[in-house]
Structure 1
Amino acid sequence: MRAAAIAPARVPLAVAPGLLLTLLALTGPLFAPHPVAAPVTTPYAPPGTDTPLGGDQLGRDVLSRMLHGGGALIGSALVVAVLVTALAAVLGCFAVLTPTLGRLVERGADVAMLLPPVLGVMLLALAWPGGGRLAVMTAATALGVPYAVRVVAGAAAPVAASGFVEAATASGERLWHLALREILPNLRSTVLALFGLRFVAAVYVISMAGFLQLGPRPPAPDWALMIRENAPGALLNPWAVVAPSLAIGLLAVSVNLAADALTPTARLRRAKAGTR
């Protein structure tokens, strides 16, 4: 009873920062004090009463652009993380049951790890002119799946060799049943942890693409794009660069901590600690 009372109380503490930051980014436009594209002060103006974070390179309110710039990044990273995790979970379970697919997964992961993400994004952006954010998301998904599949396959290998899977195989169960009904439910900790890692990776890849102007284009409010646009005036108004940089870092860290706290393994550790 003691473990049951303590464990649920600790989970929200780890999850709350990610939820609050995500909620603020998604609802930020409702609280923006100024129009996102309208100059309201001088270029690179320091923080003032009407502009708490100062102005950017065109005199637009940094705070208003910050409140508008997080929703698209979070949505894009979330879609990429869900797609990569789902594809990796399914393919990884089939890979441990099918030697041919397992070898393809290993070769694909080797190639993906050798190809720098920035190069992959640039190649797809050049091959898909006008693709914008969708092209960046496609590249992030394609580059993330091979490595993620190898992670899932590594975790699924001991499960596939367990007695209940061998018994199901001997009873004539089909491949899809073995992969999705016998193996996948036993990989919840791996899948949740992988989701957190892939979300962080997607945030960094999409932010990097925005910094290189391969995704959203000016004057769109985007945290990564704000860093690039305001870098020349960082000494005049550091908050124009520091604020979006901190937002990206805090988003990645808080979501990763939340995903780790929600894994069954983490809950088991808290339960054991609560019984001592």
Structure 2
Amino acid sequence: MTTTRTAPGQRRRPRHVGVHRTLPALPALILVLLAVAGPWLAPHAIDTPVTAPYAELGGGVPLGSDQLGRDVFTRLLAGGRALITTSLLVAAVVTAVGAALGTVGALRPGIGRVIDRTADVLMLLPPVLGILLVALSWPAGGRLAVITAACVMGVPYAVRLVTAAAAPVVASGYIEAAAVGGERLWYLVVREVLPNLRATLLALFGLRFVAAVYVVSTAGFLQVGPQPPAADWALMIRENSGGILLNSWAVLAPSLAIGLLAMSVNLAAAALVPVSGRKAVTTL
């Protein structure tokens, strides 16, 4: 009978460590599932008044009603799907584009200087101003204009982060050997550098999702993108801010939902980062 021995000084990893790492991801998963399934769980129609405007809690409206007498709980359940899908799309695009440009910039310093200077210019543009510029120049863009603005605002930060993380990998001996051996640029990016940046890219995706939630919510509050009577968390805050003293839950409920979504996804991404890559992520 053979037994597996651990090397001197090497600690055996407990089996329950993987379970403990996935537990922080459960709140984000539950919140996302609720937001996606919310429109089917809503007890009333999102645009139909069911009681008096700004009615108090109770009587079939557990969170009261909004400025038109619509059920706040119904609109809360239905208002998260668009925000989550849009933010996920923005985070995925920004992470992918940032990973590609950042790695190319680290491998080719000449191209990297051009990318860095362009990123510096875009980083000087405030997100709100960027949203308004894209939306006003693209009046019929709607949500697509918001996605475009969020991606343009997020890519420069992603490029900077990936470039800093890729620099030590590019300087390693095996990357130099592969480049001297005649490997193409795309091969170095996809097969040699990016697989060593999994922890950084996962953390970057979490950060970009939180930033996308902020940008998309700001656009919704400014009524750039979703328009009344659509059920949208940011739009709910804007529509009911004037009656916050009459029914505070019409504003507090969507505000808490946005905050919990951003915080839970960020914690989930941090918990899922591989242990071997956390030191590299925290030093960026």
Q: State the TM-score bracket (shorter-chain normalisation).
A: over 0.9
Residues 41 and 59 of structure 1 are in contact (CA less than 8 Å); yes or no, is this contact kept in structure 2? yes
Residues 199 and 278 of structure 2 are in contact (CA less than 8 Å); yes or no, is this contact kept in structure 1? no
- Choose which of 14, 34, 53 in structure 1 pairs with 2:63: 53
Shift of 1:219: 0.4
Residues 159 and 183 of structure 1 are in contact (CA less than 8 Å); yes or no, is this contact kept in structure 2? yes
Provide the TM-score with structure 1 as the length reference: 0.94
Shift of 1:49: 3.1
Shift of 1:109: 2.0
Q: Name the aligned partner's letter for residue 236 of structure 1.
A: L
- Choose which of 146, 155, 173 in structure 2 pairs with 1:163: 173
Residues 200 and 277 of structure 2 are in contact (CA less than 8 Å); yes or no, is this contact kept in structure 1? no
Which secondary structure does the structure 1 equivalent of 2:107 belong to?
coil
Identical amino acids, percent of aligned pairs: 63
- Choose which of 56, 76, 81 in structure 2 pairs with 1:71: 81
Q: Name the aligned partner's letter for residue 38 of structure 1.
A: T
CA displacement, residues 234-258 of structure 1 (integer Å, 9 cap, x when unaligned):
0000000000000000000100111
Residues 199 and 277 of structure 2 are in contact (CA less than 8 Å); yes or no, is this contact kept in structure 1? no
Higher helix residue share: 1
Residues 25 and 68 of structure 1 are in contact (CA less than 8 Å); yes or no, is this contact kept in structure 2? yes
**Would the alpha carbon gap of residues 60 and 266 (structure 1) be closer, same or farther in structure 2, given more than 3 Å must change?**
farther
CA displacement, residues 74-97 of structure 1 (integer Å, 9 cap, x when unaligned):
000000000000111111111111
- Using CA pairs under 8 Å that are at least 6 residues apart, name the structure with larger relative contact order, 1 or 2: 1
- Choose which of 234, 248, 257 in structure 1 pairs with 2:267: 257
CA displacement, residues 114-173 of structure 1 (integer Å, 9 cap, x when unaligned):
110000000011000121111001000011112211110110000000011111112111
Aligned position for 2:162:
152
- Choose which of 192, 196, 221 in structure 1 pairs with 2:231: 221
CA displacement, residues 179-201 of structure 1 (integer Å, 9 cap, x when unaligned):
21111100001100000000000
Which secondary structure does the structure 2 equivalent of 1:219 belong to?
coil
Is residue 105 from structure 1 mapped to residue 115 from structure 2 by the alignment? yes
What does residue range 156-235 of structure 1 map to in structure 2 within 5 Å? 156-235=166-245
Shift of 1:7: 1.2
**Displaced runs of 4 or more, over 6 A:** 266-269
Which secondary structure does the structure 2 equivalent of 1:52 belong to?
coil
Aligned position for 2:3:
none
Is residue 9 from structure 1 mapped to residue 19 from structure 2 by the alignment? yes
Q: In the aligned structure 2, how far is the partner of 1:80 from the partner of 1:268?
A: 24
Which secondary structure does the structure 1 equivalent of 2:79 belong to?
helix
Q: In the aligned structure 2, how far is the partner of 1:41 from the partner of 1:266?
A: 56
Q: Name the aligned partner's letter for residue 62 of structure 1.
A: V
Provide the TM-score with structure 2 as the length reference: 0.92
Matched positions, count: 269
Aligned position for 1:21:
31
Root-mean-square deviation (Å):
1.4
Q: In the aligned structure 2, how far is the partner of 1:177 from the partner of 1:4?
A: 36
Q: In the aligned structure 1, how far is the partner of 2:204 from the partner of 2:277?
A: 16
Is residue 89 from structure 1 mapped to residue 134 from structure 2 by the alignment? no
Q: In the aligned structure 2, how far is the partner of 1:112 from the partner of 1:124?
A: 13
